[in-house]
Amino acid sequence: MALIVQKYGGTSVGSTERIKNVARRVAKWHAQGHQVVVVVSAMSGETNRLIGLAREIQSIPDPRELDVIASTGEQVTIGLLSMALKAIGVDAISYTGWQMPMATDNAYTKARIQSIEDKRMRADLDAGRVVVVAGFQGIDESGSITTLGRGGSDTSAVAIAAALKADECQIYTDVDGVYTTDPRVVPEARKLSTITFEEMLEMASLGSKVLQIRSVEFAGKYKVKLRVLSSFEEEGEGTLITFEEDEKMEKAAVAGIAFDRNEARINVKGVPDKPGIAYQILGPVADANIEVDMIIQNMGESGTTDFSFTVPRGEYQKALTILRDVQTHVGAAKVDGDDKIAKVSIVGVGMRSHTGIASTMFRTLAEEGINIQMISTSEIKVSVLIDEKYLELGVRVLHKAFGLDQPQ
């Protein structure tokens, strides 16, 4: 029989009744003779509630103490699920991230996994137990609790699957697979039976909320077989994330459309056009642990240049403050920005062998009067920055323009 790692998100364990449903699903796999490790998130809304409490005490919570608080949500869930399994006759044992332990660095609220000790889990699996692990959390070298950032339970699950060399890692969520785009925006969106790791990595990085990007990176690096399934449906194959591009995928120029509202643009205008200026602008932003996405530089007048880039919307004010502090040092004429923008992206490995994809995208948006503010490309994706008010219209017209509403 197989060794399976299953991950259940916040909506899947959002109530005690849903936790009982998860227990019954896990019990079926266990009854078939499989060894099962279950990774769970906090109950839906619980992490937001905990962070809200912290902000009532400190407007900007201390990162180490915030991790102590935020990690308690998963601890509740693992205890409840272990109890639910025992209540139906399945021996189970729960572990927090630091009991395994899952070792991380000390970048509190955004920690990265360094290693996983699998000895205790293997012993429990060999003894016939279901192992229930708290996702999203670990422990640093000093013994402090850390968390992996939003969506970190996916990363925990894939990392554990890699450490155990699991036969499959199954991500159970509130959708039954990966779609060509968000069905809430485009009702005609189709579920994909397969998608390549490259495509899924781009989709996750560009705003698709089905999988957290770091989990896809882990899966690709360690060749973990990954499948997305619905925790609310008893049957279904979900979407398999593959390492190979099959003939069907080659025929499709675009596999899906991702979008992200969590974007803000910052402009640093009139800076001297000289070597090192990009580092002088972005260095302080990186030092503040703020992620930078799209970057564009335009030649200005009289030996100056304008520098624009995007950051997560929640980091917008922090980034603006940093750059206004260094404005004089870099010799910038002005620092401003816009936090009412959104990113729309088309993704597909078939773009390697098809021409005219970008021009089709630009023409389609132009026909709807949607102005493109920034453009970013890679081998299998094209991303554009547009006004947030045009986001849903842009996604709908692009989905139709690339025939993603048609049966494959």
Helix and strand numbers (H, E) in the chain are 13, 20
Please give the pLDDT value at position 330: 87
Same domain, 165 and 264: no
CA distances from 273 to 30, 199, 295, 304 (A): 63, 36, 16, 5
Please give the pLDDT value at position 247: 52
| pLDDT for 250 beyond 60 | no
Please give the pLDDT value at position 246: 53
Share above pLDDT 70 across residues of the chain, in percent, rounded to a whole number: 96
Give a yes or no: residue 232 inside a domain.
no
Residue with tokens 């025992």: 86
Q: Does residue 323 contact residue 335 with C-beta atoms inside 8 Å?
A: yes
Same domain, 18 and 167: yes
Question: 407 Cβ partners below 8 Å, 6+ apart?
Answer: 190
pLDDT confidence band for 220 (50 / 70 / 90): confident
Same domain, 273 and 127: no
Give a yes or no: residue 195 inside a domain.
no
Please give the pLDDT value at position 36: 98
Q: Does residue 344 contact residue 391 with C-beta atoms inside 8 Å?
A: yes
End position of a domain, from candidates 174, 197, 230: 174
> In the predicted model, what is the mean pLDDT of residues 24-52?
96
Give a yes or no: residue 218 inside a domain.
no
Range of the domain at 279: 257-401
Cα–Cα distance measured from residue 25 to residue 20, given in angstroms and rounded to the nearest whole number: 9
Q: What is residue 203's three-state secondary structure?
A: helix
Same domain, 147 and 282: no
Structure confidence by residue, pLDDT tens digits, 130-151: 999 999 999 999 999 999 987 7
End position of a domain, from candidates 174, 207, 237: 174
What tokens does 179 get? 């779609």
Same domain, 167 and 265: no
Same domain, 61 and 164: yes
CATH code where residue 282 lies: 3.30.2130.10
Q: What is residue 360's three-state secondary structure?
A: helix
Give a yes or no: residue 276 inside a domain.
yes
Q: Does residue 156 contact residue 39 with C-beta atoms inside 8 Å?
A: yes
> In the predicted model, what is the mean pLDDT of residues 260-278?
90
CB atoms within 10 A of CB 305: 18
Same domain, 68 and 169: yes
Structure confidence by residue, pLDDT tens digits, 87-143: 999 999 999 999 999 999 999 999 999 999 999 999 999 999 999 999 999 999 999
Helix (H) or strand (E) holding 256: strand 256-272
Give a yes or no: residue 131 inside a domain.
yes
CATH code where residue 9 lies: 3.40.1160.10
Give a yes or no: residue 321 inside a domain.
yes
| pLDDT for 47 beyond 70 | yes
Please count the structural domains in the chain.
Answer: 2
Structure confidence by residue, pLDDT tens digits, 372-402: 999 998 889 999 999 999 999 999 999 999 9
Same domain, 39 and 151: yes
Same domain, 165 and 286: no
User: 250 or 173: whose pLDDT is higher?
Assistant: 173
Structure confidence by residue, pLDDT tens digits, 316-350: 999 999 999 989 888 898 999 999 999 999 999 88
Same domain, 138 and 16: yes
Same domain, 146 and 292: no
Q: Does residue 20 contact residue 8 with C-beta atoms inside 8 Å?
A: no
Cα–Cα distance measured from residue 264 to residue 312, given in angstroms and rounded to the nearest whole number: 6
End position of a domain, from candidates 127, 142, 174: 174
Question: 406 Cβ partners below 8 Å, 6+ apart?
Answer: none
Same domain, 145 and 46: yes
Give a yes or no: residue 226 inside a domain.
no
Give a yes or no: residue 125 inside a domain.
yes
Average pLDDT, the chain: 91
Alpha-helical regions (H) of 275-315: 277-287
